[in-house]
Structure 1
Amino acid sequence: MFQQILTHYALDPEKYSVQPFGSGLINHTWKVSMASGQDCYILQQINSAVFKHPFDIALNMASLGSYLQQHYPDYLFAGPLPTAAGDYLYVDDQHRFYRLFPFVAQSHSIDQVLTAEQAFEAARQFARFTHLLSGFDTRLLKITIPQFHDLSLRYLQFTTALTNGNPQRIQDAAELIDYLQQQQHLVQTYEHIKKDPGFRLRVIHHDTKISNVLFDDQHNGLCVIDLDTVMPGYFISDVGDMMRTYLSPVTEEEKNVQLITIRDDFFAAIARGYIEELRTELTETEKQHFVYAGQFMIYMQALRFLTDHLNNDVYYGARYEGHNFVRAQNQAVLLQQYNAKSTLFNQIISTI
């Protein structure tokens, strides 16, 4: 398999080794290296079950790369390389989609945010990406995952599961269901945002986990990577995803909810990194909804996990009985902890 792929990229398969790389859960990723270690690439197979139209991703990357090369040639854009035929995707005879990226030397990624400085650098890089593309026409971007961060849709799917889902699971989850229903006002705020001229559709990454930032050896952010989910969107998607995944020292998999806490200095770091980079772009209305961004994303993920649990784990699957219920409860506790600090967080935003 790899021999044929490398040949299409004009690489001699005899000179390269291919090893699994990274911790991504969606696409399969490998590092392609020469024995000397001086010539390296990243090979990736696109998960076409998640991304139904891989050529749309390729078109997005080509459009973004062309814009950045023209306007900001010094920006490190981690886009794919062309094949020998000039294509940005290679499709094998089993209709599997591959692309090859340059390996950025003297760079690294991390899987867990351990310091406020890392949170600051990540927020700055995601904001910088959006800032540099502020002049890009978002209508040129293809939608790679329709309604990906549509909170209204996720709430509708939740209410549908309450009607059609597993009756025993619905009964057992009554307390959590009640709590999430009480937070429906967050959906109403989202509906208002979609109609508010104070919110701009921007080029948004939509997957701001820390592993999608490259750092240099001095721990400074270099650029953002994994651009498959780049689509038109609202800033609350990127900021909210950082809040959801950076603020607590434990992940959504943690069963012991006593370990779920909010690190105030991490919130301040995210806010400062993002707002300082996008200060000339964010409207006053958007800045006033900065804290809402965290509520938006945490709540949406709680809904999605519980919906899947009530639907017998058909979307995320489950490694053990009640896995998605644990995840949903984890996110609900995170939302409670976050809401309890909303006044403090708004005070922090007012000082930036």
Structure 2
Amino acid sequence: MILEKLKSIYAEFSNTDQLISYKQLASGHINDTFLIETTTNNFYILQQINRGVFKDIPGLINNKVLVSRHLRKKLGYLNPNELKRRVLSFVETIEGNNYCLDIDGNYWNLMIYINDSVTFETVNSANVAYEGGKLIGDFLNLTSDFDASQLIEVIPKFHDMSFRFTQFEEALKVASDVRLKKAQKYIELVWCLKDEMHIIQKLKESGKIKLRVTHNDTKISNILFDKNNKGLCVIDTDTIMPGIVHYDFGDAIRTICNTATEDEKDLEKVAFNIEYYKAYVKGFLEQLKSELTPSAIKYLPLGAKTMIFIMALRFLTDYLNHDIYYKTAYPEHNLDRSKNQFKLIESLADQFKEMEIISTQIK
């Protein structure tokens, strides 16, 4: 049944290859994504965008395509094969659109699969952290001259801390007594950190931090590496929209410097790896330092803490809301994710002074 449906959707795109098999990729929380194998041994990524989460999917896909075209132009000195490995390539439909609709009104887009690439759920070496930093820094550097006003706000107030606190407060009103009791310790932690976690937002609102094109989901699994663990391509660009560097920096740090996956239930395994932080910052600033003010660099460590917190808050909010946003595998999944992030914040806080020194000493 699924195979026939995917064949029908795939046939809407401009291709001479025929679909022969598929594999569902389960790493994302939001969209349904499939690896497509064809008769000519070419592979594609066919993705259904979650219309419950994203309200303007044509605008979202246009964001992705516009930024991809910009990157391809900036990297036009590369040979065509290398360019396909460095930048996402979107396949148009037979009618010349960047997406198609199925009979249920779901939106699909198709991308060329980047062969001989690897991803990581957790980082296993300082070199991977460094390469990840270089790639995200390079992405932000290459898009620094892109007019962000061309992009829609894919998820309004995505990293807006005041908005996330409002959602949290609303979730407290509808949560069951059982879930409130299980989450009580972490609910108290949210209130304790509230003032500090609004600092970055206030700097953004005052104009002291520049608004620009950002990826907004820079977790390590959204960075492709080649077989030699060299940074290759930034993927999963659904959340590209105007934002600030500190959120992209912080979200990458959140996964790169966690010694465990964000789903790890054994909190003894969760810690903030300062050596990976140092390696990531080195790669990141090698590519982007000339674009940042000393003040912007100063607040990078707080950006990391803020992004870990905002994910802890979002997981906790969804748990209190009875799991209406993120995909979950079991009833306590979102609570475990939140506990994981709060443990990471605790470990980071113990090393925060060292983080500040590292960020300001990179040449």
TM-score, normalised via structure 2 length: 0.89
> Which of 4, 11, 15 in structure 1 is aligned with 2:15?
11
The answer to whether residue 44 in structure 2 is matched with residue 41 in structure 1 is: yes
Distance 1:79 1:253, change over 3 A: same
Cα contact 1:309–1:322 (8 A) shared by 2: yes
Partner residue, 1:28: 32
Cα contact 2:14–2:94 (8 A) shared by 1: yes
Counterpart Cα distance in 2 of 1:160 and 1:6 = 41
Shift, 1:204, TM fit: 0.8
The answer to whether residue 124 in structure 2 is matched with residue 127 in structure 1 is: no
Counterpart Cα distance in 1 of 2:92 and 2:178 = 52
Q: Secondary structure at the match of 1:279?
A: helix
> Which of 146, 150, 157 in structure 1 is aligned with 2:167?
157
Cα contact 1:43–1:100 (8 A) shared by 2: yes
Counterpart Cα distance in 1 of 2:36 and 2:334 = 35
Cα contact 2:10–2:46 (8 A) shared by 1: no
Cα contact 2:88–2:112 (8 A) shared by 1: yes
> Which of 56, 60, 64 in structure 1 is aligned with 2:67?
64
Q: Secondary structure at the match of 1:293?
A: helix
Partner residue, 2:343: 333
Cα contact 2:219–2:254 (8 A) shared by 1: no
Partner residue, 1:189: 199
Q: Secondary structure at the match of 1:84?
A: coil
Distance 1:166 1:99, change over 3 A: same
Partner residue, 2:291: 281
Q: Secondary structure at the match of 1:273?
A: helix
> Which of 195, 203, 209 in structure 1 is aligned with 2:213?
203
Q: Secondary structure at the match of 2:201?
A: helix
Counterpart Cα distance in 1 of 2:208 and 2:53 = 32
Shift, 1:278, TM fit: 0.4
TM-score, normalised via structure 1 length: 0.91
Residues 224-263 of structure 1 mapped to structure 2, 5 A cutoff: 224-263=234-273
Shift, 1:312, TM fit: 3.1
Cα contact 1:186–1:295 (8 A) shared by 2: no
Counterpart Cα distance in 1 of 2:327 and 2:72 = 41
Cα contact 1:301–1:331 (8 A) shared by 2: yes
The answer to whether residue 351 in structure 2 is matched with residue 351 in structure 1 is: no
Shift, 1:93, TM fit: 2.4
Give aligned-pair identity as a percent: 31
Counterpart Cα distance in 2 of 1:318 and 1:62 = 30
Cα contact 2:305–2:345 (8 A) shared by 1: yes
Q: Secondary structure at the match of 2:21?
A: strand
Counterpart Cα distance in 2 of 1:257 and 1:220 = 30
Stretches of structure 2 lacking an aligned partner (at least 5 in a row): none
Counterpart Cα distance in 1 of 2:343 and 2:68 = 40
Shift, 1:168, TM fit: 4.5
Shift, 1:55, TM fit: 0.6
Shift, 1:157, TM fit: 2.0
Counterpart Cα distance in 2 of 1:217 and 1:130 = 24
Shift, 1:92, TM fit: 2.2
Counterpart Cα distance in 2 of 1:60 and 1:252 = 28
Q: Secondary structure at the match of 1:207?
A: coil
Cα contact 2:197–2:309 (8 A) shared by 1: no
Stretches of structure 1 lacking an aligned partner (at least 5 in a row): none
Shift, 1:8, TM fit: 2.5
The AA in structure 1 aligned to 2:98 is Y
Partner residue, 2:91: 81
**How many residues are matched?**
350
Cα contact 1:28–1:44 (8 A) shared by 2: yes
Aligned structure 1 segments of 4 or more residues deviating by more than 4 angstroms? none
RMSD: 2.2
